[in-house]
A and B are shown apart, each in its own frame.
Chain A
Amino acid sequence: MNERNDNLVPRGSSAGSSPLVCPKCGAPVAAAGTEAPLKCGRCGTPLSAGSPRAATSPIAAASEDRGEIILAIDRLSVLARNKPLISDVSLHIPVGKVTAIIGPSGCGKTTLLRSMNRMVELHHLQVKGTVRYLGQDIYGAQVNPVLVRRRIGMVFQRPTVFPTSVFENVAFGLRLDGESEDTVEKAVVSSLRRTGLWDEVKEALDRPALTLSGGQQQRLCIARALAVSPRVLLMDEPTSSLDPVATQRVEDLIFELKSDYTVVIVTHNMQQAARVADLTAFMYQGRLVEFDTTKRVFEQPKEKLTENYITGRFG
């Protein structure tokens, strides 16, 4: 289906030592040639070999080796007028898995998710620390957010269909690329198939998308995101506005998407996290408290806070 995933793991991508970080803005700096003097790619500060190295905080990775990391978040803080919304979060998201972010309302789940494809910038929030996609700092000076969002797609809390036809909704991203009508059609059909929506809407491709049911609209939004072949799909409480049946279908879909995409899903519904996620991160008051396999987070949490939350003592 998505052939690009085959060569996801680049040659020679062994772990190596952690990269240098810029002392001024916290951006990682790839140690290119040893001869050239190093400069920070984001703010241009010159660096020496003695510059600090990126610290990987202990809970960045799940306790077991979960394979290749596609999104590496290190020491990330997001601030609104100097007030931190999330502080010092490190989280390494492995490829081809579903990672859930749970936590009480207002703890910063959405903010963390939106910092993974630079959507936070739309709210003029300040970002410190790094988010690396396949090793590349997505906040780097050379990187345009448009490209980030092509690779790292997003689905929102409520369905966000455009007031056009079903077909044009899915075709939205492809049209921007100026793809031929043929390519667009193929991609639309395959995205709709992928989301299981094809059989339901194949007679109604020209209907206004707003006439679909809520659950169908949400899956349409997923199809729209998939149509531009991202590698990562971020979902912010994608079922919170849906009824149980529609929720079930979306969860099934998420489970299937794992084979081709990496999914990060925010949910305040713990059962949902337990049902769909391989890994679960628990956040509390802007901090990442615990990150591990879903099973372990739910059955043998290391932190008291996590346990209290899981057992419903608050939140």
Chain B
Amino acid sequence: MGAWLGSPVALIPLLILGAVVAVLLIASGLKDFGLTFWGFQYRFVPGEPDASSWGIGVFLVGTFLTASLSLVLATALSLALAISSVVYLPPLPGRLLSMVTNLLAGIPSVVYGIWGFVVLAPYFGLTLEPSLRDVLGWLPGFGGPASDIGPWGTLLAVFVLTIMIIPLTTALMREALRSVPRDLVEAGLAVGATRWEVVRRVRLPVARNGLWSAVLLGFGRALGESVAVAMVIGGTSIALPPNLYASTTTVASFIFSQLDSALIYPNLFVLLVEFSLVLLVVAVVVNLVAQRFTRVELATATTLGGGE
């Protein structure tokens, strides 16, 4: 069996990746990526291709806004979860809690979506948002009126996204903390450092690259989530959100929710191809950067623990 004979089989994932990129590139024709495309103007006139023009700006802002905010929350929580299960908990409870955390990774995103839309939204509208406005109203983004369409909006999307990416970031961070050489951890303890001091001064610095990868991959996941976000973000207005309570839109959720229109309007179809291509490029870049410094296993993070 020649090694090179098998190579095409080993490279099936690469071939698929290449096919996706190539097909979307061809479909987009690459002609529309001028300045307007990157701008914030969005004027879509159904059935009148010439009168329509669109920029991806609002969508990108919405995407990065929701992804970054949820990432901040998820990073803090995941770090706590990972440290807790690797450092503080005895082996059995640590393992059980890790397994429970991983279970969350399996809950379908439509289910998170319907839960957010039906169950969380009233709570957000009636309780959480008013009290946030009272307490933190002076902070930019936290003041201002509720949105007309109801509680579906940025904050709810951020919340749902946070819960959705926690299993991934926690699993990757756990692996990063675990891969700190045991020698170093024990050396820290042997000088009389407490567990926390070893976390602060040895584990976190040594695991830094792995932790950054976890954060980036979580970011990639949040960027690309379409279904759940489409269900809870409101998504009726294509405008920058004046505050966190307002509805906005993201690239991925917009593509997902435009199926009906894409069937009817050829120019919307082109727009969606372009959006897909941008999302694809962002995702590939984020993943390549995340995997550049450490070896992380995105695909097996919540099952085999993300490493060999």
Contact = CB atoms under 8 A, between A and B. Distances in A.
Contact between A and B in the complex (any CB pair below 8 Å):
yes
Interface stretch (B168-176, B189-197, B248-256, B257-265): B189-197
B202 interface: yes
B134 interface: no
A146 interface: yes
B183 A172 contact: no
A122 interface: yes
A150 B187 contact: no
Contact of A146 (B183, B184, B186, B192): B192
Nearest to B195: A146
B190 A153 contact: yes
8 cross-chain pairs, A with B, having the tightest CB-CB distances, nearest first? A160-B187, A150-B192, A154-B190, A173-B191, A149-B192, A160-B183, A146-B192, A146-B194
| A172, A221, A225 — most chain B CB neighbours (10 Å) | A172
A163 to B, nearest CB: 6
A119 B190 contact: yes
A309 interface: no
Contacts of A156: 183, 186-187, 190
B295 interface: no
Interface string A142-161: 00011101100110101010
Contacts of A146: 192-194
Nearest to B90: A124
A176 B193 contact: yes
Nearest to A118: B189
Interface string A200-243: 00000000000000000000010011001000000000000000
15 contacts: A122-B186, A146-B194, A149-B189, A154-B187, A154-B190, A156-B187, A158-B183, A160-B184, A162-B188, A163-B205, A163-B206, A164-B205, A172-B201, A173-B193, A176-B197
A182 to B, nearest CB: 20
B106 interface: no
A172 B188 contact: yes
Contacts of A115: none
Given A145-B189, A172-B193, A228-B191, 18 more contacts: A117-B190, A119-B190, A122-B186, A124-B90, A147-B192, A149-B189, A149-B190, A153-B190, A153-B192, A154-B190, A156-B186, A160-B181, A162-B187, A162-B201, A163-B205, A164-B205, A172-B191, A225-B191
Contacts of A164: 205
B24 to A, nearest CB: 42
Interface in B62-94: 90-91
B40 to A, nearest CB: 45
Interface string A116-152: 0101001010000000000000000000011101100
A117 to B, nearest CB: 7
A146 to B, nearest CB: 5
Interface string B110-140: 0000000000000000000000000000000
Interface string A298-310: 0000000000000
